[in-house]
Every structure is written in structure tokens, then in C-alpha cells.
């Protein structure tokens, strides 16, 4: 995981939850951690990391994740065993 990915990971963990994370940053983080990312139908994106799978919805029309989406990403990373 690069230094940039570490900064994104730290921003995901911040409380109160941030609303300025971009989808591209989060996908780059997943891929940097070795996750398998596949596009589904519509705005669905399936992510498999350390044997855990999750489906996220790409934000639109904007590029930033909502606070609830950031919470979902945080939960997924915790369940996948990322510390």
C-alpha cells in the first residue's frame, strides 16, 4: 500500500465521517490492497478483499461518496481484516 493509499485509509477512519472522499480514491485504495474489483450492472461495483465481498454503488452525478457510503467502506475494510 502506497503512502497515498495510507492517507486515504486514514481519511476513511476519521470521525466525524468525511464527505470529501472521491470514488476514484477509494477504488485505487481497494486495488492497492489487492482487492478484485469488477463492474456490475448500472452503478454497481463488486469488491472482493481477503475473502470478503461487498457491492458498492458508484456515486452519480457527483464523484464524492456520501457519509453513509464512507461508513460502508469503513465497515467493509474492518470485516476484511484490514487494520
**What is the pLDDT at residue 56?**
96
**What is the pLDDT at residue 22?**
95
Half-sphere exposure at residue 36, Cβ-oriented, CA atoms within 13 angstroms? 6
Domain coordinates in residue numbering, the chain: 3-79
**What is the pLDDT at residue 3?**
87
Collect all residues with Cβ–Cβ distance below 8 Å to 40 and sequence separation of at least 6: 46, 55
pTM above 0.75, yes or no: yes
**What is the pLDDT at residue 1?**
66
Going residue by residue through the chain, which has 83 residues, state the pLDDT in tens, using 9 for 90 and above.
Answer: 678 888 999 999 999 998 899 999 999 999 999 999 999 888 999 999 999 999 999 998 889 999 999 999 999 999 999 87
Q: Tell me: domain 3-79, CATH 3.30.920, correct?
A: yes
Amino acid at each position: 500500500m502506497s503512502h497515498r493509499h495510507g492517507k486515504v485509509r486514514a481519511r476513511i477512519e476519521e470521525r466525524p465521517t468525511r464527505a470529501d472522499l472521491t470514488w476514484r480514491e477509494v477504488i485505487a485504495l481497494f486495488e492497492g490492497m489487492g482487492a478484485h474489483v469488477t463492474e456490475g450492472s448500472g452503478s454497481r461495483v463488486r469488491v472482493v478483499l481477503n475473502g470478503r465481498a461487498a457491492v458498492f454503488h458508484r456515486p452519480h452525478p457527483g464523484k464524492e461518496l456520501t457519509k453513509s457510503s464512507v461508513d460502508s467502506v469503513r465497515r467493509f475494510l474492518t470485516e476484511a481484516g484490514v487494520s
